[in-house]
Structure 1
């Protein structure tokens, strides 16, 4: 304020004043960037080299990790530039590129999670009906990419480097903001995008509701064999001891041998069914957790988008403390791109083991 009164207030002072307001957000976004890049890069390397498979439950994980890696880099870059250069934004090209790409990656991430929820529903709730084969998975992944591009493309007409004037002085700065005279189009577009994302969230919630119900009520591991059962080898020995007729003994041997193989086959089948149950439950819980975290990360920023749309001067009336808190909440969506590798580690023991070997160079 003294500098303003002394006539030494310029765009640098104005820029630095607001950059200080965003310092906590800047520190957190820098931390998100480091964790997101390291975590998702590790996930991509391990799932594509150590655990590569085109047919199992892990098929979509490298795609999701790639979206998360790109989303983390682009989103944190967008926020860090806005935090550090709030009134000295570099140029329009950077503004358009970061906003379009960030929007596409957010939409792509949500749509990909919806596809994964459909796959989990098919595997758990309708195992004997149509399942996604490799060709279908590739088509769906390509469709998600096309939809993300289509939803993000209009953003290129909505943002650019715009001129802003200080309310108390004639100092002029530049921000990455809405293009003048596009307010109506911008509101309609944002409404469509948020509606598509909300529909996807509702779809995921319903599908995972069915998955959870099936896992709890219908898909239960097969009971183990009765431990009090007399071992087959013991039965065979007793039969041999209690008969003197060789032919009868051989006949009993053959019968017992047949029963032994039959029981061995059933035990092996039970073991496979139990492994399949545990694996299906494990990955279903993992993707359910990823989807839940994603929803929790996106809802607060959606609220701020609606507030900003309703009140163009929303951020101008906040105190220093309010600005610090609200900017952090506004950037919570970046966590969606950061936390997934930690969820993989928690639920996927094989991935966790490979991460340990990778980090310790064993």
Structure 2
């Protein structure tokens, strides 16, 4: 027989690689989202509304990174002496809530980009519509994250281990819940995630197709090009269109001074692709591992345990990657970030 404290220490040593990776990932996630939030709220003026969701996404991903690392750290280091039922229930709730919120915000961004690029002369998402969308996402995510508050709880006994002393084990099923109901719940989350992925992909594919069509080198050399496509090009490349008189008609020719059009086409297309891939890989991997947890018959041991735990918590990747994806492809962000860093360096030099 072993006491709960020594078992927790042994388990913590076994999962030390996973714990270190999760802490490092959380540092990147917190740093990235705080900086994105600072830039987009204080230094970058969003005149067109195309970046409306990004600061909100940064807040959600910041909360998601913090809740993930707290839950993972407690589970890895205090597995059999968990500090209380409140954290046992609240942290998983926040993980599911922020994960869903982030995913639905990506869907809202996909819809916004679709309207801006594929339907530039149609009805667009106004600030009021964006606020309504955020409220609906909030209510939906609270609704489907709430069942975890019932399933999660503290167990005072372990069926598979003989443990002495006071045991406090945070478990999703201590025997009072129906395991089939828990599997159904996680299966529903998986279904909702896959549905979200399909809808997001459906919205992104015509966006990518439109970008390639408008920014095609052969298309741009055509003399009788539709002026509407020139306006679309200005929207896609985020450059101010220039006016030019041709036969008493005003046409719009997008400026290409910032970057070549081929680079703009590649960057924007890759951005949409990366967003979808990161979301698919992170959430599907995590949810499939959650379901596998109840289907497995043998205990996972050794280094495979670390791999299993990392897959189980792979949803954390989405909260970390989102800010860096937007950083990399937003020219205005990089410009303002350079100015911010230079001003900080100058102030520091003046103080010395």
Tell me if both proteins adopt one fold, taking TM over 0.5 as the criterion.
yes
Of residues 290, 298, 306 in structure 2, which corresponds to 1:324?
306
- 1:88/1:173 contact within 8 Å kept: yes
Question: TM-score under structure 1 normalisation?
Answer: 0.79
Aligned counterparts of 1:50 and 1:264: Cα–Cα separation in 2: 42
Of residues 206, 211, 217 in structure 2, which corresponds to 1:215?
211
| Deviation, structure 1 residue 30 | 0.8
**Larger-Rg structure:** 1
Matched, 1:34 2:27: yes
| Deviation, structure 1 residue 290 | 2.1
| Deviation, structure 1 residue 79 | 0.7
- 1:55/1:134 contact within 8 Å kept: no
Q: Deviations over 1:67-96 (max 9, x none)?
A: 111100011111111011111111101111
For 1:307, the equivalent position in structure 2 comes to 292
CA RMSD of aligned residues (A): 3.0
Q: Secondary structure at the match of 1:40?
A: helix
Rate the CA distance shift 1:94–1:224 in 2: closer, same or farther, 3 A: same
Matched, 1:173 2:156: no
Q: Which moved further from structure 2: 156-165 or 64-73? A: 156-165
Q: Deviations over 1:232-263 (max 9, x none)?
A: xxxxxxxxxxxxxxxxxxxxxxxxxxxx9725
Q: Quick check: which one's helix share is greater? A: 1
Q: Secondary structure at the match of 1:302?
A: helix
Aligned counterparts of 2:83 and 2:275: Cα–Cα separation in 1: 35
Query: For 1:226-241, what aligned pairs fall within 5 Å after superposition?
Result: none
| Deviation, structure 1 residue 57 | 1.8
For 1:340, the equivalent position in structure 2 comes to 322
| Deviation, structure 1 residue 19 | 0.8
Q: Which moved further from structure 2: 152-161 or 168-177? A: 168-177
| Deviation, structure 1 residue 11 | 1.4
For 1:118, the equivalent position in structure 2 comes to 111
Aligned counterparts of 2:300 and 2:43: Cα–Cα separation in 1: 50
Query: For 1:1-362, what aligned pairs fall within 5 Å after superposition?
Result: 9-53=2-46, 55-165=48-158, 167=160, 169-171=162-164, 173-179=167-173, 180-218=176-214, 220=216, 223=220, 262-263=245-246, 269-271=252-254, 285-311=270-296, 317-360=299-342, 361=344
- 1:104/1:149 contact within 8 Å kept: yes
Q: How many residues align?
A: 319
Q: Deviations over 1:180-207 (max 9, x none)?
A: 2232332222222221111001111122
| Deviation, structure 1 residue 220 | 4.5
- 1:71/1:106 contact within 8 Å kept: yes
Rate the CA distance shift 1:28–1:269 in 2: closer, same or farther, 3 A: same
Rate the CA distance shift 1:36–1:184 in 2: closer, same or farther, 3 A: same
Rate the CA distance shift 1:216–1:224 in 2: closer, same or farther, 3 A: closer
Question: TM-score under structure 2 normalisation?
Answer: 0.81
Mark the runs of 5 or more structure 2 residues left unpaired by the alignment: 224-242, 347-352
Aligned counterparts of 1:131 and 1:114: Cα–Cα separation in 2: 15
| Deviation, structure 1 residue 284 | 6.1
Aligned counterparts of 1:89 and 1:148: Cα–Cα separation in 2: 26
- List structure 1 segments (4+ residues) > 6 angstroms apart after TM superposition: 264-268, 277-280
Rate the CA distance shift 1:268–1:203 in 2: closer, same or farther, 3 A: same
Q: Secondary structure at the match of 1:131?
A: coil
Mark the runs of 5 or more structure 1 residues left unpaired by the alignment: 227-259
